[in-house]
Structure 1
Amino acid sequence: MTALPGIALDDWGARAQSFAFRGHAIRYWAAGAQDAEPLLLIHGFPTASWDWHRLWRPLAQKYRLIACDMLGFGYSAKPRGHAYSLLEQADLQQALLQHLGVDGAVHVLAHDYGDSVAQELLARHHEGRIRLAGCVFLNGGLFPETHRPVLVQKLLLGPLGPLLGRLFGRRQLATNFARLFGPQTQPDAAELDAFWQLIAHNQGPRVMHRLIRYMPERRRLRQRWLAAMQRGGVPLRLIDGAFDPISGAHMLARYRQLIPAADTVSLEGIGHYPQCEAPELVLEHYLAFCQALASRAASDARG
């Protein structure tokens, strides 16, 4: 299905490092040369940084890669009574960069829930709290009005959310992912097993109803994030799996309406997880974006 072989989950887990964020253990991964430009990879809901495993090796040849499982996800801590927040997850990303001694401009590649975290980082860039060199979004709820959550996401927000989370299992994950992935790019059993292992780790389903509160938080922060995207100054690109029922072609169309000189790529037949379904295309379009940035910077330097 792909020319990029990826990394087995056991091998991925063995490469993890840890640091403490507000008393919670966070697992993170780093690769590439220390003097290379830093690239922060931000995963989505309900999975984890292993989502990037097919892109990890090729991107590490050019960048200093940094990725963590955010609080409540993957191999990181999943505190039960925690009030999870996208703003706190942005704090976490900045804390990780500080932990690693990264203080220059950072490239960002984000997906799904991670898009919202990246939008907050973009707003903070304009406030002088972080420096971004460029930001590329994959499928995600960039605009609440175009986000079409699946039924389980809606139910998790309701009064039965805690019970639904406890009952959520691999079978339900497979059913939902079958709808989200493209018809020709469905995950195989081994990939589904890995996704589920990361979600189930440390009783993760018991906090899903708390993590899902990102959806109303997105609505509250819409104007702040939209203004940051419309302001310019940080090059942006959207690489979107058009088949995705949650944030596919309809979201890309809205992006073109709202973002000046919108730079977009539509991946036909690809669903919600383009980095898993068509990693070679994501890599091609991401590197082309970065090459354009480098060419522009070189031209500016020549005057």
Structure 2
Amino acid sequence: MTALAGIAPDDWRERAQRFEFRGQAIRYWTAGAQDAEPLLLIHGFPTASWDWHRLWQPLGERYRLIACDMLGFGYSAKPRVHAYSLLEQADLQQALLAHLGVDGAVQVLAHDYGDSVAQELLARHYEGRIRLGGCVLLNGGLFPETHRPVLVQKLLLGPLGPLLGRLFGRKQLAASFARIFGPRTRPDAAELDAYWRLIAHNQGQRVMHRLIRYMPERRVQRERWLAAMQRGGVPLRLIDGGFDPISGAHMLARYRELIPDADCVLLEGIGHYPQSEAPDLVLEHYLAFRRTLQGPGASVGQA
């Protein structure tokens, strides 16, 4: 049982705000003081920003939190005929920051699909298009060669993808999550219901085969994103649930091979969703990372 209680799904939805991105309605959330350092939280596939709900209050006591349901996810618009792209999702994150008047350096905390969006933002940092102060990544396909998608992801990418999306339901989600969560940290029935409602809102399962195009897009962008991660100008940390069959301990090992002076934390027995499975540990290691940015002697309150 986690010590971080989190936010009920209905309460979370009531806190949503709205802005338009290229004619599409995007739902977003903010917390914390306006003058605090901004922290952009980027969710994964196929869920939404509610993934961060257990960390929302403790992080909001320290930072100005900003998170949205990306296009095609959660309570944001899910256009049926749309070429979804990680690059466009990075554009969306920048548009949200501009909408909120954030023009200084931003910290990033990302997961899964959101890791790829964060990698694009990191590349843009070195191109002078955004300023990042630091980036912490949770389980995600940072390197295509270590990404081990589950069967449903592979099928969604194939010719039967549209049909599979229409047939995908809560039962299939539960089976998938049973494989990718840790053996002692799986979501209960109420949590599964909440995750499923986020996917099913506005029949989001019908665009899953379009969203899944992020997998080949990662391969196209691999060298650019890897070069950005290897430059070392923006502090990085990887917090990784080692039990995860998709991007667990094997991905962390590759990270250590490729990233100079790699800053890694392995969470034993934790699966693909560490922010849900072990939010207390993620918070501990995230705040420790922020203290390293402040230098010797910094307190958690300063982080």
Letter in 2 for 1:87: L
In structure 1, what is the Cα distance between the partners aligned to 2:139 and 2:77?
Answer: 25
SS at match of 1:76: coil
In structure 1, what is the Cα distance between the partners aligned to 2:287 and 2:101?
Answer: 25
Deviations 1:237-268 (A, max 9, x none): 00000000000000000000000000000000
Deviations 1:91-121 (A, max 9, x none): 0000000000000100000000000000000
Give the equivalent residue in structure 2 for 1:119. 119
Distance 1:172 1:126, change over 3 A: same
Letter in 2 for 1:138: L
Please tell me whether residue 224 in structure 1 is matched to residue 187 in structure 2.
no
Letter in 1 for 2:268: E
Give the equivalent residue in structure 2 for 1:159. 159
Provide the aligned length of Structure 1 versus Structure 2.
298
In structure 1, what is the Cα distance between the partners aligned to 2:266 and 2:236?
Answer: 15
Give the equivalent residue in structure 2 for 1:74. 74
Deviation at 1:294, TM superposition (A): 1.0
In structure 1, what is the Cα distance between the partners aligned to 2:159 and 2:189?
Answer: 32
Letter in 2 for 1:103: D
In structure 1, what is the Cα distance between the partners aligned to 2:281 and 2:41?
Answer: 17
In structure 2, what is the Cα distance between the partners aligned to 1:209 and 1:108?
Answer: 27
Give the equivalent residue in structure 2 for 1:110. 110
Residues 1-303 of structure 1: pairs in structure 2 closer than 5 A: 1-295=1-295
Deviations 1:19-49 (A, max 9, x none): 0000000000000000000000000000000
Letter in 1 for 2:271: G
In structure 1, what is the Cα distance between the partners aligned to 2:198 and 2:187?
Answer: 15
SS at match of 1:237: strand
In structure 2, what is the Cα distance between the partners aligned to 1:60 and 1:295?
Answer: 22
Deviations 1:273-298 (A, max 9, x none): 00000000000000000011011698
Deviations 1:205-255 (A, max 9, x none): 000000000000000000000000001110000000000000000000000
In structure 2, what is the Cα distance between the partners aligned to 1:208 and 1:292?
Answer: 38
Distance 1:134 1:297, change over 3 A: farther
In structure 2, what is the Cα distance between the partners aligned to 1:105 and 1:244?
Answer: 32
Letter in 2 for 1:150: V
Distance 1:230 1:190, change over 3 A: same
**Deviation above 6 Å: which 4+ runs of structure 1?**
none
Deviation at 1:142, TM superposition (A): 0.2
SS at match of 2:183: coil
In structure 1, what is the Cα distance between the partners aligned to 2:57 and 2:227?
Answer: 34
In structure 2, what is the Cα distance between the partners aligned to 1:125 and 1:19?
Answer: 24
RMSD over aligned CA atoms reads 0.9
SS at match of 1:28: strand
**Percent of aligned positions that are identical:** 85
SS at match of 2:295: helix
Unaligned runs of 5+ in 1: 299-303
Letter in 1 for 2:91: D
Give the equivalent residue in structure 2 for 1:301. none
Distance 1:297 1:101, change over 3 A: farther
In structure 2, what is the Cα distance between the partners aligned to 1:45 and 1:98?
Answer: 24
Report the TM-score when normalising by structure 2.
0.98
Give the equivalent residue in structure 1 for 2:301. none
Report the TM-score when normalising by structure 1.
0.98
